[in-house]
Amino acid sequence: MENLNQTTDKQKGTAPPIGTQALQVITGAPSLHGVTGSTPAALPPAPLPPRLMDHVADLPRRSTSSDTSTEELSPALLRAIQHKVPPQWLARLEHLQKGLQDVKYQIEGAPEDERRGIPFTETVMADELPLNCRTPAIAEYDGAADPMEHLSRFENAALLHRYTDGIKCRVFVTTFAGAAQQWFNQLTVGAIGSFQEFCSLFLHQFASSRKVRKTELSLFAVHQKEDGPLKEYLQRFNTAALEVPAATQEVKASAFSQGLLDGDFFKSLAKKPVSKFDALLARAAKYINMEEAQAAKKDSRGEKRKEVREDAPSKKSRTDLRDRKPPFQRVNTVYTPLTVPITQAFMAVEEKGLITRPRSLK
C-alpha cells in the first residue's frame, strides 16, 4: 500500500492525499494547502498507525472536484470512521483538531462571535423583549459614583416598567459607560445567569466607589446654630439622618434634643420628654409655626415704623439749614518764625500805628 503520508512531485498543486483529507474532515479543520505568506503551504499530517490509515484509506469518497483542493466525506461515513477507529485514537484526533483550529485562528483570526462573547446564559437571553420596552431615563454609570445608588435607581425604573429577570440583565448593561462598560466586556461567556448574580458581580467590582456609611454618632455632631431658627436645624438633622438608615427612633430623638439651643422648645422637651423621633417632630412643628408667626409679626412692625419715619415732616426748614453757622474752628497756633527779637518787632509795629495800647483800667 502506498504510503499516504508522503507527497510526490505529481501531487504538488493537487488535492492532498485521501488520508490527510479524511483527517481534516474528521477534525473539522480547513485545509491549509496553498496558504501563502509566513505560514507554510501545508502542514505534514501526524503519523498514524497502519491500522488507522487502512480504515481511512478504504473509505469511499462522496465527491471529487477537479477545481477544488478538498474532498468531502458524508456524515454517514464519518460515523463509520468513529465506529472503526479505537477510542484512544479518537482522543488523539480531537487533540489534532484543536491544534489545527489554533493555526487557523493565527492565519485568519478568530470568528466575530468568539472574539466578543456574551456573558449572559441562554436563560437570560430567552426572555422576549416587549414591543413597548423602553430603557430607563437614568444617568449612565462609569464606575466613579456609588454603585448602590445607581442600582437602586435602576431597580425603581425596572419596577415601573415591569421588567422580567432576563430583561433586567439586558437593559441594565445599557446604563454602563466608561470603566463599567469595559468591565462588562471582559466577563466570560455565560457568567451571568440571573439579575441577582449580575448585581453581586457589579457591586463587588465597584465596591471601592461606595460611599462610607456614617454611624449613629454622626447625628450627635449636628447642632442648632446661634440665633438659628428651629426649622433650619430640623432640615439639617433630617438630611444627616438619611445617611444613617440604621439609626433608631430613640437614638434620633436623643441626638436631636442634645443639639437644641436653650429655647422654648428645649424647655418643653425638658418638662415633657419624648422617646420617639416621630413624636418629637409632631411637637417641633408647633414651635416652628410659632417662630414663623413671631418673625412675620416683627417684620410687619419694622415696616410700619419705617413708613412712619419716611412720612414724618422735617422739624427744620431749608432756610434754617442754609443759615446754620459752620462748626467752631480751632485757632491756629502755628506762625512763621521771627528773624528779630519780639520786643523789636512790637516797637516797629507801634511806630507804624498798627496797634494801639489798651486803655487803662480805672
Quick: pLDDT tens for 83-109: 666 666 767 777 777 777 767 666 665
Q: Grid coordinates representing 101? A: 483550529
From 145, 44, 6, select the one nearest 154 (Cα to Cα).
Answer: 145
Q: At what angle do helices 195-205 and 147-161 cross, to 10 degrees?
A: 160
For 329, half-sphere exposure in the C-beta direction (CA atoms, 13 angstrom radius) is: 5
Of 213, 263, 261, 255, residue with least CA distance to 238 = 255
Cβ contacts of 276 within 8 Å, gap of 6 or more:
249, 250, 253
Q: Does the structure show a pLDDT above 60 at 207?
A: yes
Q: Please state which of the ranges 202-206, 332-336, 349-353 shows the lowest mean pLDDT.
A: 332-336
pTM, two decimals, is 0.44
Per the prediction, the chain carries an average pLDDT of 74
Task: Decide if pLDDT at 334 tops 60.
Answer: yes
Burial of 120 from C-beta contacts in 10 A (0-12 / 13-18 / 19+): buried
Distance CA 179, CA 258 (A): 45
Residue among 188, 212, 208, 194 at smallest CA distance from 147: 208
Residues 6 or more apart whose Cβ sits within 8 Å of residue 169: 120, 124, 192, 194, 195, 198
Query: Tens digits of per-residue pLDDT, 43-62?
Result: 454 555 555 555 555 544 44
Helix 249-258 vs helix 230-242: crossing angle, to nearest 10: 140
Strand partners, 120: 192
Dump the DSSP string for 152-179.
HHHHHHHHHHT--HHHHHHHHGGGB-TH
Long-range contacts of 351-358 (CB under 8 A, 24+ apart): none
